Amino acid sequence: MRIVVTGAGGLVGSALARREGVVGLSRAQLDIREPSGLGTYDPELVINCAAQANVDAAEADPEAAFEINARGAGALARRCAELGARLIHLSTDYVFDGRATRPYGEHDPINPINAYGRSKAEGERLVREAGGTIVRTSWVFGAGGRGFVSQVLARLAAGEEVRAASSQQGCPTFVEDLVDALLALARLPMLPPILHVVGDPPTTRLDQARAIAELVGASPERIFDTPAPTGAAPRPAYCVLGTTALRALGITPRPWRDGLARVVT
């Protein structure tokens, strides 16, 4: 199968592009907002990892986020349909408002509370209109990433304290586990319209930070609870994604602590 990955300069896209038989395209090679050149690669399946994923930057400049996360995703989905290529489009737990008290199912109503989430929700709508499959994930981390895990590691290495919110619950996802799941899905002849692919089990940002400190031998006394997540954009408090549909396909979520150990040791 000829698999093309867009957004190959990012954490997930670059991890996919390292796998055998996958063609990774950076933004310089293919801008999803103008995807006419996609046919050059004759894809059977496209995995779209291209996104403006900086939540606070999206809040400051929503138009830029919508340009890539919504209109770009829609343009790519329509081009895939024209070429007869299947599309798996990566989305986010941030399409939900975080007010739930149980894991979100794939077809629970979405209600994003920040510009990033709204741009991704609109992208989902446009991709589905063109027949693509949505894969939502959350709290993705890996070696060399710029997210929460890397920030905690940097602060601990610098001898600083770490503040993380016990009020923020979600599902950390090791990037290599996400890639394995995406490639397993790519091999299936048919997919549901929406799937959740995340690590197991759910946790809080505070407990995730404590797990990082434990693995690097840092004192747990350097990890402090903070009343709420920091940042310019509001964050949903509870974004645990249910994986019943994924399990029904024979794919079992992997323990995020195993992935964390691979990153920090």
Residues 208-261: pLDDT tens digits? 999 999 999 999 899 999 987 778 899 999 999 999 999 999 999 999 999 999
CB-CB neighbours of 37 under 10 Å: 12
Write down the pTM of the prediction. 0.96
Burial of 62-89, coded b for 16+ CB within 10 Å and e otherwise, reads beebbebbbbbbbbbbbbbeebebbbbb
CATH number of 3-144+172-198: 3.40.50.720
**pLDDT confidence of residue 183:** 98
In the chain, what are the domain boundaries? 3-144+172-198
d(CA 217, CA 145): 21
Of 94, 104, 116, 238, the catalytic one is: 116
pLDDT at 265: 79
Nearest to 101 by CA among 237, 247, 195, 198: 237
Q: Determine whether 116 is an active site residue.
A: yes
Geometric angle at alpha carbon 20, from 259 and 201, rounded to 5°? 20
